[in-house]
Amino acid sequence: MDDTDQWRNMASAPRDGSRILVTVRSSEQGPAEVDMAYWSRADQFGPEGWRASDSSPGRIVEYAEPELRCWMALPSAGRASLPSPWEGDDVSLLDGSGI
The pLDDT tens digits for 32-45 are 999 999 999 988 77
What's the pLDDT at 36? 95
Query: Binning pLDDT at 50, 70 and 90, where does residue 3 land?
Result: low
What's the pLDDT at 93? 54
What's the pLDDT at 85? 82
Q: Please check the confidence at residue 14 and state whether its pLDDT lies above 60.
A: yes
Domain boundaries, the chain: 3-74
Using alpha carbons, select from 51, 73, 71 the residue that is nearest to residue 9: 71
Write the single-letter amino acid at 13: A
Supply φ then ψ for residue 6, to 5 degrees. -115, 140
